[in-house]
Amino acid sequence: MIPAQRGGRSTHDSSYSTFAMQCPDVRLERGVRFVDEGGVASAGGLTSGIDLALHVVERYFGRDAANGTADYMEYHGQGWLEARSNGAYARPPTAAAGHAICPVCWMELDPAGAPKSFCSTEHKQDFDVWLGGPGRVHAVARHALRRGAAARSCARDRGGRVICLLTGFFARAAAAVMFVYLVLVSVMLHDFWSAPPASAGMMQTHFLKNIAIAGGLLMLAACGPGRWSLAGEQPGKTIVIPAGEDRAYDDWHYAPAVRVGDMVIVSGLPAGKGDTYEAKVRNMFERLKRTLAAAGADLSDVVELTTFHAEARDTEGFRKEFAEFSKIHHEYFPSGYPAWTAVGTTALLSAGAPLEMRVVAVVGSGKRTEVKRAKAP
């Protein structure tokens, strides 16, 4: 129950006093099965909830439909026909001679065991907290208004924030705003540290639940995607054009290399310049070094190497050529070798090139290279 909600409400007769103390801004209807004020209807117990449900059925579908529903449920109560049929419970019970009635729950007290005029120490504390002491009634009223304002504000604004979270539209900003709202509302509506013992446990549960949700919202607000994210900005794509290779991008419309975050992808480099096979291969590797340097990497950062060999045949000439390539490859990659795939093909687009090479590198990975040899089973 939000205390600032105006109108009438009811509850079980054993909770009349507690309800009145904890919700001073709500008009308590005693002796009724349910309260129907048109836009809002409420019941105060289990069977009275059934009566309210049948009353709603009657309102929308008629008396016959309500009677049929009650018969199908094998429910024989008649409280739904007349809300004010609980008049006998509107008055406190009469205690036996020499006994008192607890003003909180109306329990008849045993003079030998009860603390003064209350059934328990907890109910006495509830009574003292909510109605005891000078100025307490005014404090309760202010507390009720404060809770109501927070609840109305949260209900008004959180719908849009939830939509933002679900659609990803300004998700971090929405998470930050909902975090602030949830913390404020939790402190104002679930302040278990100042609640009576009877309700402190439940309020503490709701408070901790909300704080846990707020923690998740804070993580989203802090580490979600965006410029100021603690998790880092989403990587962009950088076109890398080494000196002297502008035509590749301007005339042939491809990037010599692309860097995304720490990953560098180098387009195919043909071994086309040189008078000998060895010269062509060395020029290709030197061009790779320049391209990687332009992207902020070096040969030790290469993680994948793919070579395409023209005129690959099972011949003595190709085996000699491939052995020479492997020797030069080892000079440029003396340790921490990258993954290597050699592909045989019949022709390359670059005229006179015996092979072409494509490379993937991760900037900085060469400084943290580890060789891990798995043990035989």
Helical residues (DSSP H) of the chain, grouped into ranges:
16-22, 46-61, 63-72, 121-131, 136-167, 171-189, 197-223, 246-250, 277-294, 316-332
Residue finishing a domain among 111, 131, 151: 131
Q: Which residues contact 18 (CB under 8 A, 6 or more apart)?
A: 104, 105, 126, 198
Do 115 and 173 belong to one domain?
no
pLDDT band for 100, please (50, 70, 90 cuts): confident
Q: How many domains does the chain have?
A: 3
Let me know whether 34 and 127 are in one domain: yes
Range of the domain at 294: 237-368
Pair (348, 246) in one structural domain:
yes
pLDDT tens per residue, range 240-272: 999 999 999 999 999 999 999 899 999 999 998
Is 374 a member of any domain? no
pLDDT at 3: 40
To the nearest whole number, what is the mean pLDDT of the chain?
A: 79
Domain assignment present for 376: no
Give the Cβ contact number of residue 371 at 10 Å. Answer: 7
In this prediction the pTM is 0.45
pLDDT digits (tens, 9 = 90+) for 128-148: 665 554 334 344 434 444 444
State yes or no: pLDDT of 309 exceeds 80. Answer: yes
215 and 189 assigned to the same domain? yes
Residues 343, 311, single domain; the answer is yes
- pLDDT score of 326: 94
Both 244 and 361 in a single domain? yes
Binned at pLDDT 50, 70 and 90, residue 227 comes out as low
Structure tokens at 13: 């007769």
Stretch 31-44: mean pLDDT, rounded? 79
| Burial group, residue 336, by CB count within 10 angstroms (0-12, 13-18, 19+) | middle
Q: Is the confidence at residue 122, as pLDDT, over 80?
A: no
**CATH number of 265's domain:** 3.30.1330.40
Sign of CA dihedral 296, 302, 304, 308: positive
Amino acid at 197: P
pLDDT at 298: 95
What are the beta bridge partners of residue 35? 42
Residue 110 and residue 74 share a domain: yes
Indicate whether 149 pLDDT > 60: no
The answer on 101 and 37 residing in a single domain is yes
| Domain end call among 105, 131, 157 | 131
375 is a domain residue: no
The Cα 254–Cα 248 span in angstroms is 6
pLDDT of residue 113: 55
Contact assessment for residue 109 and residue 101, using Cβ atoms and an 8 Å cutoff: yes
pLDDT of residue 312: 85
The pLDDT assigned to 139 comes to 42
Of 131, 163, 183, the one marking the end of a domain is 131
